[in-house]
Amino acid sequence: MGSMDDPYNTLGIARTASREEIKKAYRSLARELHPDRNPDDERAEDQFKKVAYAYEILNDGDKRKLYDEFGEIGLKEGFDPDQYRQYQSWQRRGGGFSGYEDVMRGQGGSFSFDVGDLFGGNLEDLMGHRRRRTARGADLSATLKLDFIEALRGGERELTFGGGKQLKVRFPKGARDGDVLKLKGQGQAAPHGRGPAGDLRLTLAVGGHPLLRREADDLHMDLPVTLVEAYRGAKVRVPLLDGEVTVTIPAGTQPDATLRLRGKGAERGGKRGDFYLHIQPQLPPAGNAETEEALEGLGGPSGDELRGEIKL
Query: What single letter denotes the amino acid at residue 229?
Result: E
pTM: 0.54
Domain ranges of the chain: 7-127, 140-206, 212-297
Whole-number Å distance between alpha carbons of 111 and 131 = 21
| CATH assignment, 140-206 | 2.60.260.20
User: What are the start-end ranges of the E strands in the chain?
Assistant: 140-146, 155-160, 166-171, 180-183, 200-206, 212-215, 218-226, 234-240, 243-249, 258-261, 267-268, 271-272, 275-282
- pLDDT tens per residue, range 211-253: 999 999 999 999 999 988 999 999 999 999 889 999 999 999 9
* Beta carbons of 68 and 51 less than 8 angstroms apart: no
User: What are the start-end ranges of the E strands in 41-95?
Assistant: none
Query: What single letter denotes the amino acid at residue 18?
Result: S
What local confidence, expressed as pLDDT, does residue 84 receive? 75
Structurally, at CATH architecture level, domain 7-127 sits in: Orthogonal Bundle (1.10)
Same fold, 140-206 and 212-297: yes
* Beta carbons of 25 and 13 less than 8 angstroms apart: yes
Q: Which residues pair with 275 in a beta bridge?
A: 219, 261
Which residues of the chain are under the pLDDT cut of 70? 1-3, 87, 89-134, 299, 302-303
Whole-number Å distance between alpha carbons of 27 and 196 = 45
Domain spanning 212-297, CATH class:
mainly beta
What local confidence, expressed as pLDDT, does residue 133 receive? 53
What local confidence, expressed as pLDDT, does residue 113 receive? 39
What local confidence, expressed as pLDDT, does residue 4 receive? 73
Helix, strand, coil percent values for the chain (each to nearest 5): 35, 25, 40
